[in-house]
């Protein structure tokens, strides 16, 4: 597992190939939608429960506003701007097709972005801004900057859908308006370990390396060690932790190397984890780097100075295993925002909206309580990545979490990203 720098020529070929597959996937039909019909049929269980009423084609569509709690400025903006852009593409497809059918009425979808500037102290005002407009459904890109808003969401009666839950203590039955469109820490580590075991069967020991978030030992013991044990992997008992504002990744890499582990696993941003991977290669270490969230594998390698033997839990834009709907949105996204941007397309925010709209169709109404009840009554639901399992009884007190198939992306020594498929997971 020697480190090997990816040349510009190879990287260019990889991106061209990936985009060709991405743009070519917009066929007119299939499980994920196509042509003029962008609303995919729901999974088996939701289809059984969905109301039979069909929209009157002569009726004028109404408009439903969906809030989007995001960072349009500040350090987190590059991530959330991409989330905003992908929703521009997807809602455009829905609206161009005449809207989404809910209880026999077509609805156009209008996203309302509310910027909290990458500053947790501004998050409350951003939520209240949405509430003042009468918005009752909000998509949230991450929860680590909004953990103090649980009671506010309940007070306002806003159903909010988080696409990347990362705080294990911010959950439970006390927040019934909280829903998850992905498992985050609750299934991401599981998926990352599955990918490691599949791609590197000789790897036997894993160390958790993460910024100090106050719950790392809990995550190590309850979310990493159990799935690792099932795969025959051992986990270093004490995580390697470092300050949130640290840029001394050489010291972190050295600490990880000293554990003797074959791989490190983390769930954080690209810069810090890429920096650690880069410093490990400088030390001569062939430790595999596992980033257990849906980040782009090519970007991970590039920021890591061309390091290889890396894993992420996203998907590849051009992977054959992607659903028809994913491919179609990705192709349209590339037309709107460029080929290079499409290589990092994840559909995470699209996935939240897609699941929410299905639940509205099942409920036959946009009433918040009815939509929440519809979600909690399902066992499966269509996601952007295939049929997802609905769980969370143990974690959240009821079935409010969808395991939307974390991916298994690997970049080995040849520098060519490979997609091993989607992991089969569930939020307990």
**pLDDT digits over 328-337, tens only?**
999 999 999 9
On whether both 176 and 193 belong to a single domain, the answer is: no
Summarised one tens digit per residue, pLDDT across range 249-265 is 999 999 999 999 999 99
Q: What's the mean pLDDT in 37-60?
A: 51
On whether both 99 and 158 belong to a single domain, the answer is: yes
On whether both 273 and 348 belong to a single domain, the answer is: no
Judged against a pLDDT cut of 80, whether residue 22 lies above it is answered with no
Q: Is 132 contained in some domain?
A: yes
On whether both 32 and 152 belong to a single domain, the answer is: yes
Q: What CATH number has the domain bearing residue 366?
A: 3.40.50.2300
Mean of the per-residue pLDDT values of the chain: 86
DSSP 384: B
Q: Quick one: tokens of 373? A: 């009840």
Least confidently predicted of 230-244, 278-292, 414-428: 414-428
Judged against a pLDDT cut of 70, whether residue 1 lies above it is answered with no
On whether both 220 and 240 belong to a single domain, the answer is: yes
Nearest to 223 by CA among 242, 244, 240, 208: 208
Residues 115, 117, 119, 125: is their CA dihedral positive or negative?
negative
With bands split at pLDDT 50, 70 and 90, how would you rate the model's confidence at 192?
A: very high
Containing 383, the helix (H) or strand (E) segment is strand 380-383
Sort 14 into a burial class: Cβ within 10 Å, 0-12 / 13-18 / 19+.
Answer: buried
Residues 72, 77, 80, 85: is their CA dihedral positive or negative?
positive
Judged against a pLDDT cut of 60, whether residue 50 lies above it is answered with no
Summarised one tens digit per residue, pLDDT across range 286-317 is 999 999 988 889 889 999 999 999 999 988 88
CA distance linking residue 390 with residue 177, whole number of Å: 16
Judged against a pLDDT cut of 50, whether residue 42 lies above it is answered with no
Q: What's the mean pLDDT in 276-286?
A: 97
DSSP-derived secondary structure for 221-258: IIIIHHHHHHTT-EE-SS-EEE-TT---HHHHHHHHHH
Summarised one tens digit per residue, pLDDT across range 105-136 is 999 999 999 999 999 999 999 999 999 999 99
Q: Is 20 contained in some domain?
A: no
Q: Is 383 contained in some domain?
A: yes
Say what the pTM is. Answer: 0.82
On whether both 280 and 143 belong to a single domain, the answer is: no
Q: What's the mean pLDDT in 180-188?
A: 88
SS (H, E, C) 18-58: HHHHHHCCCCCCCCCCECCECCCCCCHHHHHHCCCCCCCCC
Maximum separation of any 2 CA atoms in the chain, in Å: 69
On whether both 270 and 222 belong to a single domain, the answer is: yes
Could you list the residue range(s) of the whole structural domain that residue 387 is in?
Answer: 28-183+320-405
Q: Is 400 contained in some domain?
A: yes
On whether both 66 and 163 belong to a single domain, the answer is: yes
């Amino acid at each position: 597992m020697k480190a090997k720098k990816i040349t510009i020529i190879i990287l260019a070929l990889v991106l061209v190939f990936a985009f060709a597959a991405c743009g070519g996937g917009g066929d007119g039909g299939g499980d994920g939608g196509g042509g003029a019909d962008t609303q995919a049929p729901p999974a088996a269980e939701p289809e059984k429960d969905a109301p039979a009423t069909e929209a009157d084609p002569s009726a004028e569509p109404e408009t439903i506003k969906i809030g989007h709690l995001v960072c349009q400025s500040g350090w987190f903006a590059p991530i959330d701007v991409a989330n905003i852009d992908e929703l521009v593409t997807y809602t455009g497809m829905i609206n161009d097709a005449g809207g989404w059918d809910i209880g026999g009425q077509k609805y156009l979808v209008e996203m309302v972005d509310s910027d909290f500037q990458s500053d947790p102290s501004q998050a409350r005002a951003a939520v209240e801004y949405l509430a003042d407009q009468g918005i009752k459904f909000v998509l949230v890109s991450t929860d680590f900057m909004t953990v103090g808003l649980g009671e506010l969401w309940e007070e306002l009666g806003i159903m909010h859908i988080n696409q990347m839950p990362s705080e294990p203590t911010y959950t439970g039955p006390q927040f019934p308006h909280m829903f998850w469109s992905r498992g985050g820490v609750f299934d991401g580590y599981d998926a990352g370990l599955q990918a490691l075991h599949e791609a590197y069967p000789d790897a036997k020991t894993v160390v958790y390396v993460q910024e100090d978030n106050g719950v790392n030992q809990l995550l190590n013991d309850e979310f990493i060690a159990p799935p690792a044990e099932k795969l025959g992997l051992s986990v270093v008992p004490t995580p390697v932790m470092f300050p949130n504002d640290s840029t001394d990744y050489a010291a972190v890499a050295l600490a990880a190397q000293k554990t003797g582990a074959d791989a490190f696993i983390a769930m954080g941003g690209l810069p810090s984890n890429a920096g650690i991977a880069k410093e490990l290669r400088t030390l001569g270490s062939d430790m595999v780097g596992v980033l257990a969230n849906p980040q782009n594998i090519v970007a991970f390698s590039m920021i890591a100075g061309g390091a290889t033997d890396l894993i992420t839990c996203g998907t590849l834009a051009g992977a054959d295993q992607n659903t028809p709907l994913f491919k179609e949105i990705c192709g349209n996204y590339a037309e709107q925002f460029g080929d290079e941007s499409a290589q990092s397309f994840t559909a995470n925010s699209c996935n939240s909206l897609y699941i929410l709209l299905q639940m509205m169709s099942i409920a036959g109404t946009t009433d918040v309580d009815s939509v929440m009840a519809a979600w909690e009554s399902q066992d499966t639901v269509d996601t952007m990545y295939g049929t997802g399992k609905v769980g969370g009884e143990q974690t959240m007190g009821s079935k409010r979490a969808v395991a939307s198939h974390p991916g298994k992306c690997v970049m080995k020594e040849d520098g060519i990203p490979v997609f091993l498929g989607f992991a089969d997971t569930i939020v307990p």
